[in-house]
Amino acid sequence: MNKPTDTQIDGKTGRERRRKYARNAVRAAMLVAAALLLSASGEWRLAVIVPAASPLTTVTSLLATRMFQLASLVGLSVAAITLIRHRLFCRWACPTGTCAECCSMLNRRRLWRPKLPRVGQWVALLTLGGAAIGYPVVAWLDPLAIFSGSFGVLHSATSPRAAWYALGLATVLVLSVVWPGLWCSSLCPLGAFQDLLFRLNLAIRRVMFGKRKRSKKRATVGLSRRVVLASLAGVALAAMARGVRSAAGRVLRPPGAVDEERFTGLCTRCGNCLRACPANIIRPATAEHGISGLLTPELDFTDDYCREDCVRCSQVCPSGAIETISREEKATVSIGLPQVDMDLCLLGDDRDCFLCRSMCPYEAITLEFCEEEYTLTPRIDAAKCPGCGACQTACPTAPKKAIVIVPTVAARE
């Protein structure tokens, strides 16, 4: 065999160098583009593209909700490319992977690189297994959801809760410094899902064209076993998670949110709904209502209410946790119901106050004279009231409000 000449080696090295520069330039451009989409308030509709670009999020959403969204086209397109070119998205476009690789370069010595099993593959399969029964167990570990969620710090820089959103990306970056390449090679569920898609393509081609290498037969059988076992484990974990009922079911969710037992599984904690809300009433939940709901969006009517003409949060959800609704449909979607404490209400103290009735955009509050108490009492028409929180925001009593919105389930008890 003829050895390559110096000219051939130099030419090959030059091509590889140019390819590396081109790849780095594309990755930098994709990182900047993703950051601009998530931070530019004027382009809030386009923010859904970043987390929706994950084929793992798209497939789990389709499995769990049985509904197709326009944003799903982005993730399906990436999935189609991945079937043909192995991990093309990881190598050229993933913003989390770009940040992780930059941090890995800080540790050039790489003195300690532990060999770990492909945890990401198990995470991806657990998520898909749970999605089959409507509850993706750990969908929030998707790297694009982690990257999107980190921009919640820009939205609520003064809120202690916002720091939790940045914790996910910070963990990935620290791991990349300490153990270079660990996240992308072993832990990332999106990368593992792309591996599975590419192997699926190879398996289909072997079946169609009759090409099958004996050396890969054992690996294929092993992969098939992992797929079955992890998927069944995902189904079992999802069934247990959905069966647990706690105080987490009493949370005010954005309009269009699916039922609570599915919401905490479907929500990827990407933070899109928080950044899109013009009233700034969507906040990341604490573990007060259960650890399963940590960092999921909840409504806070302390300073403002859910505007009757706004459906932004339903238009930027990539996972289907918040279903897309129109402005006309919003009036029929229940967030909660007002409850009145007459011990706090100014009317109960024979003082004039009609703010809750006056500020209600749906004309759902009337004042009725109570002969027993000999006072006017606010009455809420549940058929008209979606629980927008305008009455709670307008209520002048402090520090506690005389009228508050409670989740519909709690209101009925």
Per-residue pLDDT of the chain (413 residues; tens, 9 = 90+): 455 555 555 555 778 888 888 999 999 999 999 999 998 766 678 889 999 999 999 999 999 998 888 889 999 999 999 988 899 999 999 999 999 999 988 876 655 566 777 889 889 998 999 898 889 988 999 999 999 999 877 766 556 666 778 889 999 999 999 888 889 989 999 999 999 999 888 888 877 776 555 445 554 555 566 677 777 777 777 777 766 644 445 789 999 999 888 899 999 999 999 889 999 899 888 877 777 888 899 999 999 999 999 999 999 999 999 999 999 999 999 999 999 999 999 998 888 899 999 999 999 999 988 777 677 889 999 999 999 999 999 999 999 999 999 997 544 34
Helix axes 55-65 and 72-84, enclosed angle (nearest 10): 120
- Determine if residue 368 is left, alpha or beta; phi over 0 gives left, psi from -120 to 50 gives alpha, anything else beta: beta
Query: Cβ(116)–Cβ(166) under 8 Å?
Result: no
Q: How far is CA 351 from the centre of its chain?
A: 46
**Which pLDDT does position 215 carry in this prediction?**
47
Helix runs in 244-354, H state only: 260-266, 272-276, 312-315, 327-330
Contacts with 115 (C-beta within 8 Å, 6 or more apart), sequence order: none
Query: Cβ(254)–Cβ(292) under 8 Å?
Result: no
**Which pLDDT does position 340 carry in this prediction?**
94
Residue 154: Cβ within 10 Å count: 16
| CA Rg value for the chain | 26
Residues 93 and 82: their CA atoms lie apart, in Å, by: 12
| pLDDT tens, position by position, 53-91 | 999 999 999 999 988 888 899 999 999 999 888 999 999
**Which pLDDT does position 249 carry in this prediction?**
52
**Which pLDDT does position 413 carry in this prediction?**
41
Q: Which residue in 376, 359, 358 sits closest to 367, CA to CA?
A: 376
Q: Which residues of the chain does CATH 3.30.70.20 include?
A: 334-413
Q: Which residue in 318, 328, 329, 309 sits closest to 256, CA to CA?
A: 329
Q: Which residue in 345, 344, 380, 346 sits closest to 362, CA to CA?
A: 380
**Which pLDDT does position 231 carry in this prediction?**
72
Take residue 169 and report the two structure tokens written for it. 């990306």
Residue 171: Cβ within 10 Å count: 12
**Which pLDDT does position 410 carry in this prediction?**
43
Q: Which fold has domain 334-413?
A: Alpha-Beta Plaits (3.30.70)
Beta strands 282-284 and 336-340, pairing class: unpaired
pTM: 0.86
Contacts with 270 (C-beta within 8 Å, 6 or more apart), sequence order: 50, 51, 144, 145, 148, 149, 318, 319
**Which pLDDT does position 412 carry in this prediction?**
38
